[in-house]
Structure 1
Amino acid sequence: MAFDLTLRQLRYFVAAAQTGQFSMAAANEHVSQSAITNAVLALEGALGTKLFERLPQGVALTPDGQDFHNHARRVLDAARDAMHEPRFRSHDMRGVARIAASYTVLGYFLPELLARFRATYPFIDFDLRDMERPQIEEAVASGEVDIGVVLLSNMQRASRFGSQVLIRSRRQLWVAPTHPLAQQHTVSLKDIAAHPYIMITVDEGEHSTMRYWHKKRIEPNIAFRTSSMEALRGLVAHGFGVTVLSDMVFRPWSLEGKRIEARPVHDVIPHMEAGMIWRKGATLSGPATALQQFLIHACGG
């Protein structure tokens, strides 16, 4: 039987996937919760598979849901880019956009956006630099680079720059399917503290993590520290511990093919925010301005 897929259904599905709650997705999309529920049910019926696991505190993507989420995002991104082109596209704009990015955004966020930008502006080249956040701030302030893409949630003095949040990414528990915490109906930081914790150290990961743990006056039981995201995935997938990280860097498998699941945390944990910074008051070059406006538009700003 034919199924007429709509962009609205994809948008509602992606909103539910990103928030982990149908009610919050409905609020973000300014529709009723039943609109979100009906869209998801229609997609599940057409695909013949469950896209979400229904949990007491929300929903979590199934493996099939994760795969479909990747496809849905690409479709929505392509539609957004098509709407962007008539107003901003300049086939013959030439020059160089100078960008600096930190490890996490360079590895898990920026490449796909840069590829989409290049499809719109094929003659603009990138001077792309991998730097730590403090060095990015210095390079932007000095005019060495036009735009820095960083974890804004780690910045102490963001107000000295022009800035734009590009993505707010929910933090969730990462856990092996057989781990005791994966079987609980609700999980709190206090529950997590009773188990070995894998701490990521790259991109100021430990500092940003400990801020919200200390706010709750709880200490995680840190068993391992690592700067390698893939090492962390492997340790979690094999049951050596758990971690709390953002959806932006989540992948449901380790390199060895072992399953990893994400679970909402009951406590209020701040989202990770990634975004752009530029020198306040500076006049950006044409290519840099094109990139700045494209990223704002592509990320829904």
Structure 2
Amino acid sequence: MDLRQIRYFLVLASELNFTRAAGRLHISQPPLTRQIQQLEASMGVVLFERTTRGVALTPAGAVFLEEARKIVDLTDQATNKTRLAHQGQLGRLDIGVFGSAILNVIPTLLIELRKTHPDIVISLQNTTKIQQVEAVREKRLDIGFNRVFPEVEELVVETVMMESLYVAMHKDHELVRRRTLAVRDLNNQPLILFPNNVRPTFADNVVSLLRDEGLTPNVVHEVEDVMTCIALVSAGLGMAVVPESAVNLQLPGVRYHPLRSAEAKVDLSCVYRADNASPALMGFLDIVRKVRSRKIKLVTE
């Protein structure tokens, strides 16, 4: 039994006439007769009985008709899904995310992916940079988003965007009336750094920014993530240097001011396996590159 024989059977069961069925199939009658005979022989049953007007289904043929329809439907579904998967329109993406990226870039990417690839299943996992790198290497994640990625063999790191830096401070701070701040304005100011996990991190960029100006950072708190950092700023416990995406965190009493410096930028990058040729990932990377080239605007713009 093969799929062609089943399809021939369905047409003949619909027409109940060999001549008309052969016409629909664009073949001559003898090949159709042979295929039906072979199908019956493979099953060991008679599916059709001849009548004066053509053929009629036997009881066994009537049962097989229902099952044959299911077989063809399932085969068509499998073929369609396979084609969609090949085109990157179907599948699953496991994505590693972190802190401030979820405030503008990640939502933008997900909205666009949902528009263009609505049948892809998305799983977001909030993980640290080291966890992302290991998970991507071990194929537990397809792609991760973070800052200051190290170079790792077998992995590709792509810059998604460079973000300007801002200073977050309490509304009652003495510097709050200034529209912008210079790095030197942070001298002796109580600083809250994040994240406090395995170095190098964004926190190291902030420290380097001050040290390059000959300043010694006055670090009063080191916390795990940007949410905790801004919460402490809201409580008046210090000020913080944050990426522009963090400006979307509008906590009570917090004000954000651009930091004036050519070096006041930080990357947001993605990492994935060089050998991952998943069509779903390729489609997602296409969206990432459109965001990088500004062909797609961020949801916060």
Q: Same fold (TM over 0.5)?
A: yes
Select 1:218's aligned residue among 215, 218, 238. Answer: 215
Alignment-derived partner of residue 238 in structure 2: 241
Deviation at 1:159, TM superposition (A): 8.0
Report the Cα distance in structure 1 between the residues aligned to 2:88 and 2:190, rounded to whole angstroms: 55
Correspondence 1:273 to 2:301:
no
Alignment-derived partner of residue 169 in structure 1: 163
- Name stretches of at least 5 consecutive residues in structure 1 with no aligned partner: 1-89
Correspondence 1:110 to 2:103:
no
Bigger shift: residues 194-203 or 156-165: 156-165
Select 2:278's aligned residue among 281, 285, 294. Answer: 285
Correspondence 1:183 to 2:177:
yes
Identify if the C-alpha distance between structure 1 residues 98 and 230 changes in structure 2 by more than 3 Å, giving closer, same or farther. Answer: closer
Tell me, yes or no, if the aligned pair for 1:103 and 1:132 is still in contact at 8 Å. Answer: no
Identify if the C-alpha distance between structure 1 residues 143 and 231 changes in structure 2 by more than 3 Å, giving closer, same or farther. Answer: closer
Report the Cα distance in structure 2 between the residues aligned to 1:248 and 1:105, rounded to whole angstroms: 7
Counterpart of 2:259 in 1: which secondary structure?
A: coil
Q: Percent same amino acid among aligned pairs? A: 16
Tell me, yes or no, if the aligned pair for 1:91 and 1:121 is still in contact at 8 Å. Answer: no
Alignment-derived partner of residue 120 in structure 1: 116
Consecutive aligned runs of 4 or more in structure 1 exceeding 4 Å deviation: none
Alignment-derived partner of residue 294 in structure 1: 287
Report the Cα distance in structure 2 between the residues aligned to 1:230 and 1:278, rounded to whole angstroms: 26
Alignment-derived partner of residue 46 in structure 2: none
Identify if the C-alpha distance between structure 1 residues 295 and 149 changes in structure 2 by more than 3 Å, giving closer, same or farther. Answer: same
Identify if the C-alpha distance between structure 1 residues 240 and 100 changes in structure 2 by more than 3 Å, giving closer, same or farther. Answer: closer
Tell me, yes or no, if the aligned pair for 1:91 and 1:122 is still in contact at 8 Å. Answer: no
TM-score, normalised to structure 2, is 0.59
Deviation at 1:172, TM superposition (A): 1.5
Larger Rg: 2
Alignment-derived partner of residue 264 in structure 1: 258
Report the Cα distance in structure 1 between the residues aligned to 2:88 and 2:213, rounded to whole angstroms: 54
Report the Cα distance in structure 2 between the residues aligned to 1:144 and 1:234, rounded to whole angstroms: 32
Identify if the C-alpha distance between structure 1 residues 98 and 227 changes in structure 2 by more than 3 Å, giving closer, same or farther. Answer: closer
- Deviations 1:81-101, CA, capped at 9 Å, x for gaps: xxxxxxxxx999211123223
Alignment-derived partner of residue 197 in structure 1: 191
Identify if the C-alpha distance between structure 1 residues 279 and 270 changes in structure 2 by more than 3 Å, giving closer, same or farther. Answer: farther
- Name stretches of at least 5 consecutive residues in structure 2 with no aligned partner: 1-85, 295-301
Report the Cα distance in structure 1 between the residues aligned to 2:225 and 2:141, rounded to whole angstroms: 27
Deviation at 1:235, TM superposition (A): 3.1
Alignment-derived partner of residue 125 in structure 2: 129
Tell me, yes or no, if the aligned pair for 1:164 and 1:296 is still in contact at 8 Å. Answer: no
TM-score, normalised to structure 1, is 0.59
